[in-house]
Structure 1
Amino acid sequence: MTSPKGRGIFRRRFKTKLQAITFSSIVRSAKLRRREMVKELPSRIAYLDGFRGIAIILVTLYHAYSRWPDLVPYGSEYVGFPPAYYGGLGVQLFFMISGFVIYMTLEKCSGFSEFLWRRWLRLFPAMLVVSVLIFSTAWLLPERPGGIPQLRDLIPGMLFIEPSWISTISGTPQGVLEGAFWSLFVEVKFYVIFGGVFFLAGRRWAEAVLGLCFATSFGTALVNRFIHWSILERLQIVLDEYCSFDNFGWFLIGAITYELSGKFDRRKFLLLLLLSLAVCAYSGLGCYDLTMFVSALLIVTFVGAVYSGTLKAVLATRIFVFFGFISYPFYLFHENFMIAVIRKIGSNIRPLPDFIIPIFPLMIVVLIAFLLAEYIEPFLRRILRMTGETIKGSTTPSDSKMTPSGISAPCFSTRSDRLEEKSISANIF
Structure 2
Amino acid sequence: MSQKKRFTEIDALRGLAAIAVILFHYTTYYDGRFGHLKDGYIDWFWFGEYGVQLFFIISGFVIYMSIMRARSASDFAIKRSIRLYPSYMFAVVLTFIIVSMSVMDDLKVGFGEALINMTMLQDFFTGIGRVDGVYWTLRVELTFYVLMGVLLLFGKAKHIMPVTLGWFAASVLIQVIHRTVDTELTSIIREYSIASFSHMFIIGMMFYAIWQHGHRFKYHMVMAMAVIYDIFFQSVENAMFTLLFIAVFHLILAGRLKFLSSKVFVFFGTISYPVYLVHQNIGYVMINRMESTGLVHEIYLLIPIGTSILLAYAIHRLIEQPSHDTLYRLYKERRDAYPEGAMLKR
TM-score, length-scaled by structure 1: 0.71
Question: What SS does structure 1 have at the residue aligned with 2:40?
Answer: coil
1:310 to 246, 256, 279: 256
Question: Which runs of no fewer than 5 residues in structure 2 stay unpaired?
Answer: none
Q: CA 1:259 to 1:201, structure 2 compared with 1: closer, same or farther past 3 Å?
A: same
1:171-186 to 2 correspondences below 5 Å: 173-186=127-140
> Quick check: 1:193 aligned with 2:147?
yes
- Calculate the aligned-residue CA RMSD, in Å: 2.8
What amino acid is aligned across from residue 176 of structure 1 in structure 2? R
Q: CA 1:266 to 1:78, structure 2 compared with 1: closer, same or farther past 3 Å?
A: farther
Q: CA 1:211 to 1:174, structure 2 compared with 1: closer, same or farther past 3 Å?
A: farther
Q: CA 1:113 to 1:50, structure 2 compared with 1: closer, same or farther past 3 Å?
A: same
**Alignment match, 1:151:** 111
What amino acid is aligned across from residue 318 of structure 1 in structure 2? K
1:50 to 12, 18, 34: 12
CA contact (8 A) 1:260 1:268 kept: no
Q: CA 1:74 to 1:320, structure 2 compared with 1: closer, same or farther past 3 Å?
A: farther
Q: CA 1:389 to 1:324, structure 2 compared with 1: closer, same or farther past 3 Å?
A: closer
For 2:130 and 2:210, the matched residues in 1 are separated by 38
Question: Which runs of no fewer than 5 residues in structure 1 stay unpaired?
Answer: 1-36, 168-172, 401-429
> Quick check: 1:320 aligned with 2:271?
no
Deviation digits for residues 353-383 of structure 1 (CA, Å, limit 9, x no counterpart): x222221011111111001112321222234
**Alignment match, 1:101:** 62
* Rg (Cα) greater in structure: 1
Deviation digits for residues 76-122 of structure 1 (CA, Å, limit 9, x no counterpart): 835642xx212111111011111111122112211110010100000
CA contact (8 A) 1:49 1:316 kept: no
1:350-365 to 2 correspondences below 5 Å: 350=295, 354-365=297-308
> Quick check: 1:61 aligned with 2:23?
yes
CA contact (8 A) 1:109 1:115 kept: yes
1:272 Cα shift?
A: 3.1
Question: What SS does structure 1 have at the residue aligned with 2:256?
Answer: helix
2:286 to 332, 336, 341: 341
More displaced stretch, 146-155 vs 253-262 = 146-155
What amino acid is aligned across from residue 382 of structure 1 in structure 2? D
**Alignment match, 1:277:** 227
> Quick check: 1:255 aligned with 2:205?
yes
1:298 Cα shift?
A: 1.7
For 2:42 and 2:176, the matched residues in 1 are separated by 29
What amino acid is aligned across from residue 127 of structure 1 in structure 2? Y
1:239 to 183, 186, 189: 189
CA contact (8 A) 2:174 2:195 kept: no
1:247 Cα shift?
A: 0.9
Q: CA 1:186 to 1:112, structure 2 compared with 1: closer, same or farther past 3 Å?
A: same
**Alignment match, 1:25:** none
Q: CA 1:278 to 1:75, structure 2 compared with 1: closer, same or farther past 3 Å?
A: farther
Paired residues, number:
340
For 1:147 and 1:277, the matched residues in 2 are separated by 35
For 2:203 and 2:152, the matched residues in 1 are separated by 16
Q: CA 1:130 to 1:75, structure 2 compared with 1: closer, same or farther past 3 Å?
A: same
CA contact (8 A) 2:286 2:304 kept: yes
For 2:203 and 2:339, the matched residues in 1 are separated by 40
> Quick check: 1:71 aligned with 2:21?
no
Q: CA 1:133 to 1:180, structure 2 compared with 1: closer, same or farther past 3 Å?
A: same
What amino acid is aligned across from residue 327 of structure 1 in structure 2? S
**Alignment match, 1:31:** none
**Residue identity (%):** 26
CA contact (8 A) 1:66 1:80 kept: yes
1:374-385 to 2 correspondences below 5 Å: 374-385=317-328
TM-score, length-scaled by structure 2: 0.87
1:284 Cα shift?
A: 3.7
**Alignment match, 1:113:** 74
1:334 Cα shift?
A: 0.5
What amino acid is aligned across from residue 133 of structure 2 in structure 1? G
What amino acid is aligned across from residue 265 of structure 2 in structure 1? F
2:243 to 273, 289, 296: 296
CA contact (8 A) 2:174 2:190 kept: no
1:125 to 86, 94, 98: 86
